[in-house]
Amino acid sequence: MKTICLLLLAMLAVGCSGYNSSMGSSTMSAVGAAQIMSIAPTNATAGGSGFVLTVDGSGFASNSVVYFNNTAMTTMFVSGNQVQASIPAAQIVMAGVKPVYVLTVGGMYNASNQASNMVNFMVN
């Protein structure tokens, strides 16, 4: 009985998730996943040149990858609180909202992929 209770508690702990809201968008993200607090810049002009996107937050790792408009970008790990991504001009050809999130494969807390909360980048 004690073993069953411990197993159920472990399953509950693994299955829990937290609610995160940042920059006007909200998503569910796994407990222990990276959290985006801010991005810079927050917008660009359609047809403009490529740029470096700085993502500030927490829980980033050397294997974290920034996704811009659901596409993995070349990512540079700066620290556990910052990553930077090279956003090519081809990603901002069309105006619209581009989602940004960070995916850490085999995250710090378990072996599954963990996505951060999502924030919006605006292409005007």
Q: Dump pLDDT digits (tens) for 78-107.
A: 999 999 999 999 999 999 999 999 998 864
Question: Tokens representing 39?
Answer: 């991005």
Whether 108 shows a pLDDT value over 80: the answer reads: no
Q: Which residue has the tokens 């294997």?
A: 63
Q: What kind of fold does domain 18-123 have according to CATH?
A: Immunoglobulin-like (2.60.40)
Across the range 111-121, mean pLDDT stands at: 84
Q: What CA–CA distance (Å, rounded) separates 54 from 17?
A: 26
Say whether pLDDT at 61 is over 50. Answer: yes
Contact 35, 59 (CB under 8 A): yes
Per-domain residue ranges of the chain: 18-123
